[in-house]
Structure 1
Amino acid sequence: MNLGLISLILLLAAIAIGFWRNCNVGILCVAFSMILGIAYGIDTKEILSGFSSSLFIQMVGITYLFAIINENGTLELMAKKMVGLVGTKKHLIPFVMYALGFLICAVGPGAIPSLAIVPVIAIPVAASAGVNPIMTAIIGDLGVMSGRMSPLTPESAVVRELMEAQGLEGNTIPIMIAMIMTALVVMVLVYIYYKGWKVDAVTVAAEEKLPGFTGKQRLSILGLVVLAVGALFFSWNVGLTGFTVGSVLLVLGCGNEKKAIAAIPWNVILMVLGVGILMNVISLSGGIDIMVSALEAIMGKRTACMIMAIAAGLMSFFSSGLGVVFPTLIPTATGLASGLGVSALELVAVIVIGGTVSGFTPISTTGALIMAGVSQQENAEDRFPQNRMFVELFAVSFIALAVLAVFALISVYGLFMK
């Protein structure tokens, strides 16, 4: 059988086995790559050429820095100070959480740690203020998703590399703008559904007086500024800068190296890089052309972006957007664009947005964290029954996917991809 077809089948098998057995898809992809190498006589150097050392440095470097800054309490205190800005206007808390989610994600760590950090802050703050904690956590995570394609994030590095491999300009800012627009529409719908303007009467304890930033936390904030300025204005490598700033902070006593290394999301990094190795085999063997031909058979010029958006969204229900959806679908964009006469950048945008905004299902990490956090609140079973919460989180995912599909069909995203 054709190697390209076999490699595609093994990619689908890796995704299915990973979901079924809760295994790391990337590690399975590395194993399948070795099996293909033995069976088809592929040189080991060709297989390992799919391992991106530059991407590894960027992902590890930036997550290492943010593990240090998160561990010393800088992010948590910054978040509390932002929430404290609303004063008595408690109905504004969800919007503050959106801005907070965007900021935490966009300045460097990306969505993976931020999607875990934001609900931990949002849910207890909302519950104590009489604001719906489910709504607040969803809106906060929509802010995280909006900042995912900031030039500083590891996810942006993945997408840039995939785009540049096809000869496209690796500029993710237009995609970020399109993501923000989608997230804002979904946020409005969520806010209306939960009647976010209504604040329950609660017995509020005395306002917590927040401490000022310590010297170590001020140095951490300065480190973030150096990272942002260096990457945005001097084209410094984000990963190398992350390692450098993180090293300086450790020397100055601002963090714990062991805890920082342990907090790096190694499972996600292995997933992204492992899938990249198998995708390289798929590319070398003509598997991408097979994927393009199969997608072309069900797409037309008008429906291409919508179908791709839905496919990316449905895939992200059961697999990682960063680790599976992006590296699987983005390489097809150029081929589809030339065959169907559509914009390759628009196809990349809907893949990234689809692989992101539909991630609220309870079977995803994001949805599971929201359910777990809300369930820990007082009288949660009476106020927020788990069965209802389960359905609502699935509904939010489908609403986000519907907004994406409509925007893709009427070519809204094309306005930003010039």
Structure 2
Amino acid sequence: MNLGLISLICLLAAIVIGFVKNCNVGILCTGIAAVLALVFGIKASDIIKGFSASLCIQMVGITYLFAIINGNGTLELLARKMVALVGKQKRLIPFVIYILGFIISAVGPGAIPSLAIIPVIAIPVAASAGINPIMTAIIGDLGVMSGRMSPLTPEAAVVRELMAAQGLEADTVPIMFCLILTALATMVLVYIYYKGWKVDVNAVGKEAELPKFTGKQLLSLAALAGLAVGVLFFSWNVGLMGFLMGSLLIIFGCGDEKKAVQMVPWNVIIMVLGVGILMNVISLSGGIDIMVAALEHVMSKRTAAMIMGITSGFMSFFSSGLGVVFPTLIPTASGLASTLGADAIELVSVIVIGGTIVGFTPISTTGALIMAGVSQQENAEERFPQNRMFVELFAVSFLALAVVAVFSFLGIYHLFV
């Protein structure tokens, strides 16, 4: 049997095993790549080439910096101060949380840590203000997803590298605009469903006076500003800048180095890099061409973007968008575009959007955190029954995927890329 086909089957097997056994797909992919190398006589050096050192530096560096900043309370206090700006206009809280989610995600850490941070902030703030906490957490995480493809995030670095490998212009800013558009459309529908304009005056609590930023927190904010300026205006490497700013914060006593290292999402980083190793074998053996040929049979120029968006969305129900969906589908974009006459950047965009925007199911980390946070509120079982919440979160995921399908079919994303 052809090595390209075998390697594709192995990738599918790794995804299924990872989901069923709840183990790291990246580690499975690395082990499978090693077996394929032995069986088919591939040099170990060719296998190792699939490990991207530059991507590793970018992901570790930026997540290390944000582990320090998050650990010293800077992000949480910044969030609460932003929410406090609305004063008595409680109806504006969901929109402030959206903007907050976008900022926290876009300035560096990306979606992975931010999707966990936002519900922790949004749910108690919304509950105390008499706003639906489920809606507020969903809208906040839509903001996080909107900022995922900012040039500063490690996730954007992954997508840029995958695009550059196909000879495409490695710019994720147009993809970010498409994500924002999709998130805003989904947010409007969620806001209408939950009747977000209604405020429960009986649930409104007393507003506590917020403390001022400490000297260490001000230094942390300065480090964030330095990172943004260096990357956006001087084209410095975001990973190296993360290590530099993180090191300076540690020297000035703004964080605990050991705790910061522990808070780096090593599991996700290993997943991304490990899948990249097997994807390199797939690429070398012609597996990408096999995938492209299979997709061509069900696509036309008109439906390519829609089908690709739906495919990435369904894949992300069962696997990581960043770790599995992006490295698997993005490499097919250039080949499909040249064969079908479609726009390769548009196909990459819908893959990223589909693999991002459906992440609200209760079986995902995001959905589980929202359910857990809401369940801790007073009279939660009576006000927010878990069975209903479970169904609603699934419904939001399918609603978001429907928005992607409609926008793709109508060619709306093509206007931005």
- Report the TM range for the smaller structure's normalisation: over 0.9
Indicate conservation of the 8 Å contact 2:130/2:204, yes or no: no
Indicate conservation of the 8 Å contact 1:129/1:202, yes or no: no
Give SS of 1:86's match. coil
How far off its partner does 1:30 sit? 0.3
Map 1:160-175 to 2 at 5 A. 160-175=160-175
Residue 140 of structure 1: aligned partner: 140
Q: Separation in 2 of the partners of 1:76 and 1:290?
A: 47
Indicate conservation of the 8 Å contact 1:333/1:347, yes or no: yes
Give SS of 1:131's match. coil
1:269 aligns with 2:253: no
Q: Separation in 2 of the partners of 1:253 and 1:289?
A: 52
Deviations 1:145-166 (A, max 9, x none): 0000000000000000000000
Residue 198 of structure 1: aligned partner: 198
Q: List gaps (5 residues or longer) in structure 1.
A: none
How far off its partner does 1:47 sit? 0.3
Residue 330 of structure 2: aligned partner: 330
Q: Separation in 2 of the partners of 1:275 and 1:96?
A: 36
For 1:345, give the aligned amino acid.
I
Q: Separation in 2 of the partners of 1:178 and 1:296?
A: 24
Q: Separation in 1 of the partners of 2:385 and 2:117?
A: 23
Deviations 1:301-340 (A, max 9, x none): 1100000000000000010000000000000000000000
Percent identity of equivalent pairs: 76
For 2:321, give the aligned amino acid.
G
Question: Structure 2-normalised TM-score?
Answer: 0.99
How far off its partner does 1:206 sit? 3.0
Q: Separation in 2 of the partners of 1:227 and 1:312?
A: 32
Deviations 1:73-122 (A, max 9, x none): 10000000000011111111100000000000000000000000000000
Question: Structure 1-normalised TM-score?
Answer: 0.99
Q: Separation in 1 of the partners of 2:162 and 2:32?
A: 21
Residue 130 of structure 2: aligned partner: 130
1:247 aligns with 2:247: yes
Residue 367 of structure 1: aligned partner: 367
Indicate conservation of the 8 Å contact 1:361/1:397, yes or no: yes
Residue 15 of structure 2: aligned partner: 15
Deviations 1:174-228 (A, max 9, x none): 0000100000000000000000000112254432111111100000000000000
Q: Separation in 1 of the partners of 2:164 and 2:115?
A: 27
Residue 72 of structure 1: aligned partner: 72
Shift >6 Å, 4+ stretches:
none
Residue 305 of structure 1: aligned partner: 305
For 2:374, give the aligned amino acid.
V
Map 1:8-407 to 2 at 5 A. 8-407=8-407
Indicate conservation of the 8 Å contact 1:128/1:202, yes or no: no
RMSD: 0.6
Indicate conservation of the 8 Å contact 2:149/2:173, yes or no: yes
Give SS of 1:212's match. coil
Q: Separation in 2 of the partners of 1:98 and 1:206?
A: 23
Give SS of 2:396's match. helix
Give SS of 2:201's match. coil
Indicate conservation of the 8 Å contact 1:37/1:47, yes or no: yes
Give SS of 2:166's match. coil
Q: Separation in 1 of the partners of 2:203 and 2:405?
A: 43
Q: Separation in 1 of the partners of 2:202 and 2:121?
A: 19
Q: Separation in 2 of the partners of 1:416 and 1:164?
A: 19
Q: Separation in 1 of the partners of 2:134 and 2:230?
A: 37
For 1:224, give the aligned amino acid.
L
